[in-house]
Amino acid sequence: METSQRDEQFYRSMVRMRAVETELLALSSAGQLRGSLHLAQGQEALPAGAGAALRKDDYVTATYRGHGYVLAKGGPLLPIIAEILGKAAGLGGGKGGKMHLFDLEYGILGTNGIVGAAVGTAAGAAWAAQLQKTDRVALTVCGDGALNQGHVSECMNMAVLYQLPLIILCENNLYSEMTPLSRSHGDVNLAGRAAGFGLNTAQVDGNDPEAVYQVMSEAVNRARTGGGPTFIEAATYRTIGHYQADSGIGYRTAEEVEAWRAKSPLDRWAAKLGKRAPAIAAEEQAAVRAVFEEALALPGPDPLAAGTQVFA
Amino acid sequence: MSQMSVVEATNAALRQELARDPKVFVYGEDVAHYGGMFRVTDGLLRDFGADRVIDTPISESGFLGMGLGAAMAGMRPVAELMFIDFSLVAMDQLLNNIAKTHYMSGGSVPVPLTIITQGGGYRGAAAQHSQMLEALLLHLPGLKVVLPSNAADAKGLLAAAIRDDNPVVFINHKQLFGAKSEVPDGEHVVPLGQARTMREGTDVTLFTYSYLVGMGMQAAEEAATQGVSVEVVDLRTLNPLDWETIAASVTKTHRVVIAHEAHLRCGVGVDLSHQIQSRLFDELDAPIQVVAALDAPIPFAKELEDVVLPSPARLLEACLGAVHG
Ligand SMILES: Cc1ncc(C[n+]2csc(CCOP(=O)(O)OP(=O)(O)O)c2C)c(N)n1
Ligand SMILES: [Mg+2]
């Protein structure tokens, strides 16, 4: 794909994600969406760039904030939104919700509510791909804070030991909830930590979808060809609160948030596309709106389904 | 007395104990600078300083293990697990180490560690943020487990937990955090192992704890209008259990319902039911009923969560069923 085509694809992907989040935030504010809502405003370039570097049959696991990667993997929007809204036609029949999105057909092995937990899942899928002698790869997305889970360290070691086709994309947005990196990491060099385990490492501007795409493509190519796991540290920032009840201010200065807003990947790519941007944005927003309207009208799950599917 | 929410009362207990004993320190994720995800540790850093109130990384296994070591070395640590669901990444420290140290040391090494946390559903937080895991903690000997149902008990029981020389897990319920009630001013300690009769009755006893105490009171109210007198007992502490109060109530009403939000299989209700029937078989006039969550992970959609978790209607039905057969 040519760069200009990719630029449009990135912009569409980012606008779509933002439109989905805008709808969800409105529903949550109106008390029409259950549970916690972890949004990723400001971080849209990461799923856009990473998604474009993957094949449909590659695997993805992500966090409670990882709906963008599910969208960017290319599956139809309706079952994703339906699940987030707790509808029977959702990916998990309304059982999982937004923190627990699964879609085997598109290699989505779960967004996850437990910090760090999804790293093992992706490493295991990468292991299966290797044992099955396919060239599929697995991407796992985690936060900066997740690197402090013992599970993540264990998996990094095994990824190197077995030379797994795994990419760990670490969204370093400088905070875990309300705690800054400086108060949670003895050494804030995250890529350095991964290098200590022997992973290939790269650092990237996480607000630049093209740069993310390039570094991801390199890592994916390496993984596909037996070159082992890569850890990518992406510098980014959520310009919104940790979840719907957090203003995002107090533990961060307004200046800091504003400085990062100025680096919004959406604005950057809108400027890049120039006059074409508004029409593309309007098209994506309308498509998302239509899916939400359809999803909101869907029936909820049958209460009798509550006790089913505990086992296969 | 002051009107306080459960959050404020929990905070008050932490303040009371931090002020009283220099060995106490409080730590966990977002507890110091932010004041806690649920404001339980609000203002503690400002008032007690950075040696007493400490932020940790998202490293539950590591920091619970460190709580054990610090307790063995003379401190009285209070660790916060933001959600009890996250105890599951630290189960080895909790159950292989914290729970067993005093016993394995032949009683020579006490572990005065307190873990404060919260659990519970009814909010659409789905399968990994809605659980009640007390039964897991009770299954292996060595942990005391406390679940307050109101603000006064939150303050008093937490104070007792921190003063206890054993590891204690203190579990608030997220649905109760904002619930206000009267709390004694000044020093307030509720000894561990004392149940509380919330409502006297003569036909059936409902043993419950945590969020379901309120539901039980509602069910008892409704049952009264239907001519059934329900005694509601808040167990408050699941280990140790208050056998005296339990036995006295069973001996009075001869019928028992046990209700909790956690799952049925291998849960507190099943365990208590066995203990009551084996000790007090001759007192029982009806089979013991247990109301619990359906044995499925807590689902996200309201239609499903409503079926999985206990409701006042199910508590009422069980109470009436125990009496009418
Ligand atoms: C094991 C575990 N501990 C704590 C939490 C609560 N929690 C949810 S998100 C979060 C912060 C994670 O920070 P980071 O990994 O940097 O990801 P970000 O939210 O910034 O995207 C915490 C502590 C959790 N979900 N799981
Ligand atoms: Mg982060």
> A59: which strand partners?
A138
Contacting residues for A86 by C-beta, under 8 A, at least 6 apart: A34, A94, A97, A300, A301, B124, B300, B301, B302, B303
CA dihedral B117, B121, B124, B127 (to 10 degrees): 80
Report how far residue A266's alpha carbon sits from residue A257's, in angstroms, rounded to the nearest whole number.
16
Query: Known catalytic residue: B129?
Result: yes
Ligand 1 atom with minimal separation from the A176 CA: 13
Please tell me the predicted confidence (pLDDT) of residue B199.
Answer: 98
Alpha-carbon distance of B298 to A73, in angstroms, equals: 27
B178 Cβ neighbours under 8 A, 6+ residues apart: B5, B6, B7
Known active-site residue B60: yes
pLDDT-based confidence at residue A3 (cuts at 50, 70, 90): confident
Other Cβ atoms within 10 Å of B281 Cβ, number: 8
Per-residue confidence at A4, pLDDT binned at 50, 70, 90? confident
Interface contact B300-A300, CB threshold 8 A:
no
Residue A180 in contact with ligand 1 by CB distance below 6 A: no
Domain residue limits, chain A: 3-297
What residues of B are in contact with residue A35 (Cβ under 8 Å)? 123-126, 129, 300
Please indicate whether residue A16, judged by its CB atom, sits closer than 6 Å to ligand 1. Answer: no
- Residue for token pair 């630029």: A7
Q: What torsion do the CA atoms of B148, B302, A108, A215 make, to the nearest 10 degrees?
A: -70
Residue A52's closest CA among A30, A71, A25?
Answer: A71
From A39, A43, A63, A115, give the residue whose CB has the most ligand 1 atoms within 8 Å, as the site to mutate: A115
Confidence band, pLDDT 50/70/90 cuts, at residue A166:
very high
What pLDDT is attached to residue A120?
98
Q: Which residue of B has its CA nearest to A38?
A: B125
DSSP B36: -
Ligand 1 pocket residue status of B84, Cβ below 6 Å:
no
Tell me whether strands B196-199 and B230-234 are parallel, antiparallel or unpaired. antiparallel
B299 touches chain A (CB under 8 A): yes
Q: Is B207 helix (H, G, I), strand (E, B) or coil?
A: strand
Per CB-CB distance under 8 Å, the chain A contacts of B62 are: 148, 150
Asked if residue B146 lies in contact with residue B116, where contact means CB atoms within 8 angstroms, the answer is: no
Strand pairing of A59-63 and B256-263?
A: unpaired
Q: What does each of the 325 residues of chain B score in pLDDT, given as a tens digit?
A: 999 999 999 999 999 999 999 999 999 999 999 999 999 999 999 999 999 999 999 999 999 999 999 999 999 999 999 999 999 999 999 999 999 999 999 999 999 999 999 999 999 999 999 999 999 999 999 999 999 999 999 999 999 999 999 999 999 999 999 999 999 999 999 999 999 999 999 999 999 999 999 999 999 999 999 999 999 999 999 999 999 999 999 999 999 999 999 999 999 999 999 999 999 999 999 999 999 999 999 999 999 999 999 999 999 999 999 999 8
Helix A150-161, helix A117-131: angle, nearest 10:
20
Position B325 scores a pLDDT of: 84
Q: B residues 227-266 near A, CB within 8 Å?
A: none
Class of domain A3-297: alpha beta
Q: Number of C-alpha atoms within 13 angstroms, CB side, residue A156?
A: 28
**Catalytic option among B60, B80, B134, B305:** B60
What is the per-residue burial (b if ≥16 Cβ within 10 Å, else e) of B12-45?
bbbbbbbeeeeebbbbbbbbbbbbbbbebbbebb
Please tell me the distance from the alpha carbon of residue B295 to that of residue B267, in angstroms, as a whole number. Answer: 11
Q: Is B304–A183 a contact, with Cβ atoms under 8 angstroms apart?
A: no
Our answer on whether the CB atom of A177 is closer than 6 Å to any ligand 1 atom is yes
What are the two backbone dihedrals, phi and then psi, of residue A22, each rounded to the nearest 5 degrees?
-65, -40
- The domains located in chain B, with CATH, are 2-183 (3.40.50.970), 196-324 (3.40.50.920)
How many whole angstroms from A154 Cα to the centroid of ligand 2?
20
Q: How far is residue B145's CA from residue B135's CA, in Å, rounded to a whole number? A: 9
Mutate to test the interface with A, among B33, B42, B58 (most CBs of A within 10 A): B58
Kindly identify which residue of chain B lies nearest to residue A151, measuring between CA atoms.
Answer: B89
Contacts of A154 (CB under 8 A, 6+ apart): A120
SS3 labels along A25-76? HHHHHCCCCCCCCCCCCCCCHHHHHHHHCCCCCCEEEEECCCHHHHHHCCCC
**A179, A247, A252, A304: best mutation site toward chain B, by most B Cβ within 10 Å?**
A179
- Paired tokens of B216: 């039980």
List, for residues A261-286, the tens digit of each pLDDT value.
999 999 999 999 999 999 999 999 99
Q: pTM, whole model, 2 decimals?
A: 0.97
In terms of Cα–Cα distance, which of A101, A103, A77 is closest to A286? A77
ipTM: 0.96
Provide the token pair at B25.
């320190």
Mutation choice for B interface testing from A98, A148, A193 by most B CBs within 10 A: A148
DSSP, res A10: H
Q: Give dist(CA A43, CA A66) in Å, integer.
A: 10
- Over 80: is that where the pLDDT of A59 sits? yes
Query: Which of B320, B315, B302, B17 has its CA nearest to residue B157?
Result: B17
Return the pLDDT at B254.
98
- The residue assigned the tokens 């009769």 is B197
β-strand partners of B118: B172
**Crossing angle of helices A3-29 and A277-296, rounded to 10°:** 40
CA A305 to chain centroid: 29
Q: Residue A146 Cα, ligand 2 centroid: separation in angstroms?
A: 8
Q: Is A282 close to ligand 1, i.e. is its CB under 6 Å away?
A: no
Residues in chain B with CB shorter than 8 Å from the CB of A300 are 301-303
Q: What pLDDT is recorded for position A2?
A: 79
> Quick one: which H or E segment has residue B146?
strand B144-146
The DSSP bridge pattern shows strands B230-234 and A179-180 to be: unpaired
3 state SS of B178? coil
* Contact assignment for B59 to A116 by CB distance below 8 Å: no
Give residue B29's pLDDT.
98
B125 CB within 8 Å of a chain A CB: yes
Contacts of B301 in chain A (CB under 8 A): 34, 86-87, 94-95, 97, 300-301
Q: In terms of Cα–Cα distance, which of B161, B225, B148, B144 is closest to B14?
A: B161
Of B310, B32, B33, B27, nearest in space to B173 by CA = B310
B88 φ, ψ to 5°? Answer: -70, -20
Average pLDDT, chain A: 97
Q: B178: burial class by Cβ within 10 Å (0-12, 13-18, 19+)?
A: exposed
Structural contact between residues A263 and A257, judged by C-beta atoms closer than 8 angstroms: no
What pLDDT is stored for residue A1 in this prediction? 74
Which of A43, A86, A88 has its CA nearest to residue A66? Answer: A43
Percent of chain A with pLDDT over 70: 100
